[in-house]
Amino acid sequence: KGEVRVFMSLGYASYMVPQDLSALFDIFPGLHINSITAMDTSFFNIKDVDIAITYQEIDNQDTVLISEKKVHCGFFASSQYLAQKGYPIDLDDMVKNHRLITKHDSLLARVLGEERFKKANICFKSNNTLALINALENNTGIGIMPLSFALHGLVCLDNIICDCPITYHLYANRLTKDIPRVRTLI
């Protein structure tokens, strides 16, 4: 029991927090998670947290890499947007005939490639994951999200391959990683 201080990248905190937290708290009712969320790792000091979950690598002598997880992604849009604009047949059709939304980290640029990205109609760009989700849900365009977004009522454009997973890293503070409450959360 006790508090575990966790840093999470904004995207992870917004839509990837495990659904089994309730079960964890049922098993360990005295465990408390204090989450700090920020756009990138420059917003925290590892000495101030016990665990960090981020898509950025941390090169710091006070951290220990515990594990990595690849989160596969796909292109998503609302069914209403697709009804209005049509279902793109491939990447070229999507770039030519559709509005796209993206995060500032530009996973979209890596998937499309430099030439296609220059031609793309990027109508909305944000560092706020919740804003991107709302934009997708409100028929703004097509964006890249983890495949689990199919559960949120968005349509996955499964005919268009998005072979560029996001890798999340789980780091622990070298000094606190073996404390039982921290080990439990890890």
Query: pLDDT (tens digit, 9 = 90+) per residue, 129-152?
Result: 788 888 999 999 999 988 877 767
Q: pLDDT (tens digit, 9 = 90+) per residue, 154-185?
A: 999 989 988 888 888 999 999 999 999 999 99
Q: Which two tokens stand for residue 122?
A: 């990027």
This prediction's pTM: 0.78
Q: What is the pLDDT of residue 165?
A: 85
CB pairs under 8 A, 24+ apart, for 80-88? 80/139, 81/139, 81/140, 81/141, 81/142, 82/155, 84/139, 87/157, 87/159, 88/142, 88/157, 88/160
Q: pLDDT (tens digit, 9 = 90+) per residue, 104-122?
A: 767 888 889 889 999 999 9
Q: What is the pLDDT of residue 123?
A: 94
How many whole angstroms from its chain centre is CA 173? 22
Q: What is the pLDDT of residue 23?
A: 85
Q: What is the pLDDT of residue 14?
A: 61
